[in-house]
Structure 1
Amino acid sequence: MEYDIWIALFALMGVLLIIRTIMNKTNKRTVMRVNPETVKASKDIILRVLPLVEDDSDSLRGIHVLPCDKERVKSAAKVMAYCFNRNSQYEELARVRRCFVNLARFQDDTLDEEERVRLAEREQKQLTREIDTYLAKHFG
């Protein structure tokens, strides 16, 4: 009898913990402030990355070739996508989207080739979902 109360209490706490985890997972959001400085910095990053991804090749490249880390390039691409959409420059928007998705080609050199290919395929799907969700949410 005494243990029944404790079992019910732990079960209730477990359910509440699961609900809290689910609620916190869906509310994560990064806020990017778009101002002239961030636009200029983003443009500089994208202009350095575009020649690397627009070489009409599907081959994998080392991550060290990028001018900065992938997360920074992704943020810069999102800022430029925002600017191009606001100015109705849809050709440039498509170019930035392709740049964003092609970031999957840049993988760690220390991994074997098979692992790099597998990671690139998975990351390309994830990046495609991420940029499409971003564009639909903010400009759809």
Structure 2
Amino acid sequence: MKKFTLTFLLGLAVAGFLIYGVQKIQGPSSGQNGGRRGPGGGAKVAVETVPAKVASLVDEGRFVGSIESKSKFLVAPKISGRLKKLFVDIGDSIGNGDTVATLDDEELLLTVKQAEADLEIARANFNE
């Protein structure tokens, strides 16, 4: 029994020494005055408080991104030709009847003149 009591007291002394050593290494705990870690430790800071009041709040935001329409349209001329002037840029809104572009009509005018000349020849041949 004496051996058990002596071993128990020796173990209790070692445990007490270990607890004391750990507390000495870590320093004061965060809740005690003079502590430097965690809540309640460190230097005291002056804080100004104001009472809460009711005010209007505007929910506003700016966002970066891209959007796409549900449908896309292909704008194409009824006749072929060279583009003379473009009146809109990609992404511009256009309405019904708006002029989007003009085509170079030089070739068409030459074709009309040729057709008129052929018509005159055909009329002359018919009247003979």
Which TM-score tier does this pair reach, normalised by the shorter chain?
under 0.3
Provide the TM-score with structure 1 as the length reference: 0.21
Higher relative contact order, chain-length normalized (CA < 8 Å, sep 6+)? 1
Q: What TM-score do the two structures reach when normalised by structure 2?
A: 0.23
Structure whose residues are more often helix by fraction: 1
